[in-house]
Amino acid sequence: MKKLLLFVCLIISLSTFAQTALKATVSKKADALEKQIIAWRRDFHEHPELGNREVRTSGIIAAYLKSLGIEVKTGVATTGVIGVLKGGKPGPVVALRADMDGLPVTERVNLPFASKVKTTYNGQEVGAMHACGHDSHMAILMGVAEILSSMKADVHGTVKFIFQPAEEGAPVGEKGGAEQMVKEGVLENPKVDVIFGLHINSQTEVGKIVYRPGGTMAGVSDLQISVKGRSAHGAYPWSSIDPIVVSAQIISSLQSIVSRNVNVTENPAVVTIGVIQGGSRFNIIPESVKMQGTIRYFTEADEKLVTDNVKRIATKTAEAYGATAEVIVPFSNHYPVTFNDVALTAKMLPTLEATAGKENVLLRPPVTGAEDFSFFQQKVPGIFFFLGGMPKGGNSLTAPSHHTPDFYLDESGFTLGVKALCNLTLDYMNGKGK
């Protein structure tokens, strides 16, 4: 028995030594790649492409993956690229995802590689910019692909690299994003066991990783409310059923859903109206008004509660004024909650802590933004975490936020993302995730 125990201890020690050695190799290779990763990011940043239009971007990625000897499939969900790396030893299939699309935002940051691209979005001429960091995500995952392909003999399983188009949503009338990739079988052949993804964050200091088990980013549905009343001259409002007044009452009353119906001690929720359209002249009460907005939630129960209350408040308020209201939720898009598998997160947390330093891996509150990475997590267990991109000593309250013309990233944090994704993959394959 004593000999058996010694043998088991020896095996565990050898395994721990091997994993430590792999991390050291990953770290060395990632540091050596830093300049190349930054160069990739700057090239993508200077040449952004909107959702389902990432033709140049996907071409660069596909060509590079092929140069590494990785099996490549293109044209997935319009412009998506899938790379499959088969390791030297049998094991699970780990998927890693990066999104590729830019945003219809005109860049205002004074950088030598700032975007000057003009394009068309929903029929309007707009500027284009990587205002959410997807350029860095692609560069990071390309670095991961180079490192893991160079360590192929030590890879116990298969790595599937997913470069996804249209995370910000496909253009009107088109399909796209993670939902479409799932429908086209991206998680099959070979069947994915787990998926890991990251998102750079301009308001988290470089060198930090933040995470949350369970619901980490909100589920989202957009909504449209159409109010119909009766038109009249603005001088004779008593002849009307004023849909503008009705809409104002609806908007005000909708705020009571979060303050009076949702148990905010358990989960946050959001109800926002962002668009109001009605009327054509100052002295004409219109016949109808349309409103559009968004609701956010972290559980299916809260999704139903919020949705049901939006419909009830809108229709009953309109009825009280003699008008009618039609409510459509979701109107054009719906993302599930980005849900980090609790058991998987607990098992892989030591990997993140070993990579970044325990003091640099922080638990964060829920985020009311949304991510279509959630469609992958509906099918397989996954972890989605955030990588610091704010300069050291910066103020998270004043740092330019995502989706704005002044969005800025400190590039010194990119290699930590490379190391984290590589180590999560190798550790899971070596049994830490099972």
Active site residue 326: no
| Known catalytic membership, residue 335 | yes
One of 184, 326, 353, 411 is an active-site residue; which one? 411
SS (H, E, C) the chain: CHHHHHHHHHHHHHHHHHHHHHHHHHHHHHHHHHHHHHHHHHHHHHCCCCCCCCHHHHHHHHHHHHHCCCEEEEEECCCEEEEEEECCEEEEEEEEEEECCCECCCCCCCCCCCCCCEEEECCEEEECECCCCHHHHHHHHHHHHHHHHHCHHHCEEEEEEEEECCCCCCCCCCCCHHHHHHHCCCCCCCCCCEEEEEEEEEEEECCCEEECCEEEECEEEEEEEEEECECEECCCHHHCECHHHHHHHHHHHHHHHHHHHCCCCCCCCEEEEEEEECCCCCCEECCEEEEEEEEEECCHHHHHHHHHHHHHHHHHHHHHCCCEEEEECCCCCEECCEEECHHHHHHHHHHHHHHHCHHHEEECCCECCCCCCHHHHCCCCEEEEEEEEECCCCCCCCCCCCCCCCCCCCHHHHHHHHHHHHHHHHHHHHHHCC
Residue of 335, 353, 408, 428 marked catalytic: 335
Active site members: 335, 411
